[in-house]
């Protein structure tokens, strides 16, 4: 119809005149396209060009595997402080942001009024690139992007590494890698970090765990229980990797005891390392202390190899993620299973006899970021809850891939939070909107944060916080 209209307008010009108009239109069209193409790289619309390659080149490795930093070669750098320290893909990310704001709308740091807003972080890096492109090209340029003017320390320490921003981003921009790379610079080159972290780092350096408790206390939780040691049961099929929280934290010890009870009831062949269990170093890595992490991970792999470990069960999503996705960087390849997957399977195969309701009622499940978003374990926790008699499962508005962090990830468990900006309080409010009587989780770190959140609202008499393992153990037909 449009062509017919133009044909009638051009008809009076005859074939020659119409041909001239066609030639002019062709040149104008191409000039406009070429001019726009030249201006694009200089404008904020460059993402039109870069976003498709950015998606194409997005990370193929597991989301939970941070890069293994080269700390030994002569030209090794100990973290990212300048623009030229970012790799080409990280720079492509900066040019690819469409400024849609989906990332910031999901970020727990932004939601609680902290100085971090992921979109702004990306735009600040991009704007710095536009203003000073020589920062990438000129080897002699020493301008720091980690500075009060561009990316401040407070912005970097606000991140819980929850990946909600990355999950939301339509062009698959990655944040956690850049934030941890810049934390590596702060910790390893400048020793600039929140003072509270000194204790956690010292605990890991001296006692091999962020709690700083002696290894002789690691298996105290197992006293009076029939828990086998791997040294005495080398034929055990699984190593139960308890983790530092499950070993040393009073509340988490109860969860470990519940898991041991379930494994015994389900006839699972397992054993623990006891006082020989090493910390896997996840906390050190997320906090930017890559040197410490690499030392701890290498030691853990050596211990596993010495004990001929092939299969690992753990109830801690942080241990699960680093043993499964990051230990292969140190030559440690294991079949790693989270307790939720294992127990859901035991229930399906009729290996556990469940009768009681475990004190359930209406239960809302809080997805741990390192179990869900990082490792796609969403179904088994819900299958476990569905198998418990008397439990009605309700979902929070933010759940599964859009679930909100409890606030403990990325080492923030060890950083003091302003009471008015607590992520755990906000998360508990979201979960309580469901009117559930029980908040369930599958992570000892989440449990600490949820417990504190419920207590901060003085609701501990009305709302229970339970790990899935406690609910199942409480339902076992003994």
- What tokens were used for 377? 């374990």
Regarding 230 and contact with ligand SF4 (CB under 6 A), the answer is no
Smallest distance from the beta carbon of 322 to ligand SF4, in angstroms?
Answer: 17
Residue from 63, 173, 242, 340 in contact with ligand SF4 (CB under 6 A): 173
Tell me whether residue 122 or residue 384 sits nearer to ligand SF4 (CB atom). 122
**Contact region with ligand SF4 (CB under 6 A), list: 21-29, 170-178, 190-198, 297-305:** 170-178
Distance CA 130, CA 209 (A): 43
DSSP-based three-state secondary structure for 463: coil
DSSP state of 326: I
Query: Mask 117-156, x = binds ligand SF4 (CB under 6 A)?
Result: -xx--x----------------------------------
Asked if 263 interacts with ligand SF4 (CB under 6 A), we say no
Q: Residue 23 is encoded by which pair of tokens?
A: 């030639």
Contacting residues for 51 by C-beta, under 8 A, at least 6 apart: 96, 98, 171
Least Å distance between CB 171 and ligand SF4? 5
* 115 lines the binding site for ligand SF4 (CB under 6 A): no
- 390-412 burial code (b ≥16 CB/10 A, e <16): ebebeebebbeeebbbbbbbbbb
Distance CA 274, CA 217 (A): 9
Q: State yes or no: residue 441 binds ligand SF4 (CB under 6 A).
A: no
Select from 168, 200, 337, 388 the one that contacts ligand SF4 (CB under 6 A): 168
Residue matched to tokens 């970090």? 193
Told to check if 251 binds ligand SF4 by CB under 6 A, we report no
Reading the block at residue 123, the tokens are 């735009």
In the block, residue with structure tokens 């080492």: 411
Any idea which residue has 């195969």 for tokens?
349
- Whichever of 160 and 424 has its CB closer to ligand SF4, that residue is 160
Tell me how far, at minimum, the Cβ of 429 lies from ligand SF4, in Å: 18
185: left (phi over 0), alpha (psi -120 to 50) or beta: alpha
Angle between helices 176-188 and 290-306 (to 10 degrees): 100
> Residue 229 to residues 325, 342, 355: CA-CA distances in angstroms?
25, 20, 30
Stretch that binds ligand SF4, among 23-31, 91-99, 307-315, 452-460 (CB under 6 A): 91-99
Q: Is 178 in the site for ligand SF4 (CB under 6 A)?
A: no
* Smallest distance, ligand SF4 to C-beta of residue 420, A: 18
Nearer to ligand SF4, 146 or 268 (CB): 146
Whichever of 160 and 188 has its CB closer to ligand SF4, that residue is 160
Which residue pairs from 50-56 have beta carbons closer than 8 angstroms and sit at least 24 positions apart in sequence?
50/92, 50/95, 50/96, 51/96, 51/98, 51/171, 53/92, 54/92, 54/93, 54/95, 54/96, 54/171, 54/172, 54/173, 55/171, 55/172
Q: Which long-range contacts (CB under 8 A, 24 or more apart) does 302-308 make?
A: 303/273, 303/276, 303/277, 303/278, 304/239, 304/332, 304/334, 305/332, 307/230, 307/231, 307/234, 307/239, 307/273, 307/276, 308/234
Beta carbon of residue 354, minimum distance to ligand SF4 (angstroms, whole number): 36
Give the burial class of 37: count Cβ atoms within 10 A of its Cβ; 0-12 exposed, 13-18 middle, 19 or more buried: exposed
By the rule CB under 6 A, 370 interacts with ligand SF4: no
* Contact status: 159 vs ligand SF4 (CB under 6 A): yes
- Find the binder of ligand SF4 among 86, 95, 157, 175 (CB under 6 A): 175
Integer CA distances (angstroms), 360 to 356, 440, 460, 466, in order: 9, 9, 15, 9
Phi, psi of 183 (to 5 degrees): -65, -35
Binding mask 296-325 for ligand SF4 (x = CB under 6 A): ------------------------------
220 binds ligand SF4 (CB under 6 A): no
91 binds ligand SF4 (CB under 6 A): no
Residue 77 in the binding site for ligand SF4 (CB under 6 A): no
Binding to ligand SF4 by residue 430, rule CB under 6 A?
no
415 near ligand SF4 (CB under 6 A): no
Among 108, 274, 381, 453, binds ligand SF4 (CB under 6 A): 108
Q: Which is nearer to ligand SF4, 241 or 370 (CB)?
A: 370
Size of the site for ligand SF4 (CB under 6 A): 29
**336's tokens:** 């790693």
Task: Say whether residue 413 binds ligand SF4 (CB under 6 A).
Answer: no
Q: Does 162 bind ligand SF4 (CB under 6 A)?
A: yes
169 is a contact residue toward ligand SF4 (CB under 6 A): yes
Write the DSSP symbol of residue 322.
Answer: I
Q: Which of 82, 98, 141, 421 binds ligand SF4 (CB under 6 A)?
A: 98
Are the C-beta atoms of 338 and 453 separated by less than 8 Å?
no
Which lies closer to ligand SF4 via its Cβ, residue 183 or residue 382?
A: 183
Cβ of residue 390: shortest distance to ligand SF4, in angstroms?
A: 35
Site of interaction with ligand SF4 (CB under 6 A): 97-103, 106-109, 116, 118-119, 122, 159-165, 168-171, 173, 175-176
């Amino acid at each position: 119809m449009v062509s017919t209209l133009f044909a009638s307008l051009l008809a009076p010009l005859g074939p020659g005149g119409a041909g001239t108009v066609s030639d002019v239109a062709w040149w104008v069209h191409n000039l406009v396209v070429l001019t726009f193409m030249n201006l694009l790289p200089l404008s904020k619309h460059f993402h039109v060009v870069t976003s498709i390659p950015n998606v194409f080149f997005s990370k193929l490795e597991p989301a939970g595997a941070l890069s293994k930093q080269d700390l030994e070669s002569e030209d090794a750098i100990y973290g990212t402080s300048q623009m030229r320290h970012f790799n080409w893909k990280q720079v492509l990310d900066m040019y690819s942001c469409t400024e849609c704001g989906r990332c910031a709308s999901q970020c727990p740091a932004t939601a609680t009024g902290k100085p971090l807003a992921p979109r702004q972080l990306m735009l600040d890096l991009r704007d710095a690139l536009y203003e000073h492109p020589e920062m990438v090209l000129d080897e002699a340029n020493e301008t720091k992007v980690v500075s009060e003017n561009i990316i401040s320390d407070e912005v970097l320490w606000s991140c819980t590494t929850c990946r909600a921003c990355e999950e939301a981003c339509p062009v698959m921009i990655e944040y956690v890698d850049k934030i941890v790379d810049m934390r590596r610079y702060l910790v390893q080159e400048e020793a600039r970090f929140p003072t509270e972290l000194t204790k956690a780092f010292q605990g890991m350096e001296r006692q091999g765990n962020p709690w700083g408790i002696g290894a002789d206390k690691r298996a105290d939780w197992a006293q009076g229980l029939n828990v086998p040691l791997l040294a005495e049961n080398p034929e055990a099929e699984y190593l139960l990797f308890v983790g530092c929280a499950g070993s040393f934290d009073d509340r988490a010890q109860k969860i470990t005891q519940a898991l041991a009870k379930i494994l015994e009831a389900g006839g699972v062949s397992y054993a623990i390392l006891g006082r020989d269990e090493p910390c896997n170093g996840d906390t050190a890595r997320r906090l930017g202390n890559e040197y410490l992490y690499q030392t701890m991970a290498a030691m853990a792999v050596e211990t596993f190899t010495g004990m001929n470990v092939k299969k690992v069960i753990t109830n801690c999503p942080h241990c699960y993620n680093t043993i499964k996705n990051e230990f292969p960087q140190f030559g440690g390849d294991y079949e790693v299973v989270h307790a939720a997957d294992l127990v859901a399977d035991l229930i399906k195969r009729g290996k556990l006899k469940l009768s009681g309701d475990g004190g359930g009622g209406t239960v809302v499940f809080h997805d741990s970021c390192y179990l869900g978003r990082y490792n796609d374990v969403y179904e088994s926790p819900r299958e476990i809850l569905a198998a418990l008699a008397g439990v009605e499962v309700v979902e929070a508005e933010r759940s599964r891939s859009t679930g909100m962090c409890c606030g403990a990830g990325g080492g923030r468990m060890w950083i003091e939070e302003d009471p008015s900006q607590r992520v755990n309080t906000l998360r508990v409010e979201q979960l309580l909107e469901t009117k559930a009587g029980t908040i369930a989780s599958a992570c000892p770190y989440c449990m600490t944060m949820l417990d504190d959140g419920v207590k901060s609202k003085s609701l501990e008499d009305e709302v229970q916080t339970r790990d899935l393992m406690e609910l199942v153990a409480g339902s076992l037909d003994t």
